[in-house]
Amino acid sequence: MKRAHRTAHARIWTILGILLPLAFFTVLTLRQTPPADRPAILVEAPAGDPNGAEASQ
C-alpha cells in the first residue's frame, strides 16, 4: 500500500512540475503587450460637447 501511494505521489508531482511551468510560460508568451507608440484612447466625451456626439455641419 505504501509503495503504490509513493509511486502515485511521485508521478503526480512530476506531471505538475512539468505542466505548471509550461502553462505559465505559455500564458506569458500569448499575453499581448501594447506598443509604446499607440495613441491614447479617449474614454470620456470632450468637455465642450454636452451630447458626446460630433457636431454636424
What is the phi/psi pair of residue 38, to 5°?
-70, 135
Confidence of residue 4 (pLDDT cuts 50, 70, 90): confident
DSSP SS3 for 55:
coil
Confidence of residue 25 (pLDDT cuts 50, 70, 90): very high
Least confident of 1-5, 23-27, 50-54: 50-54
Give the burial class of 11: count Cβ atoms within 10 A of its Cβ; 0-12 exposed, 13-18 middle, 19 or more buried. Answer: exposed
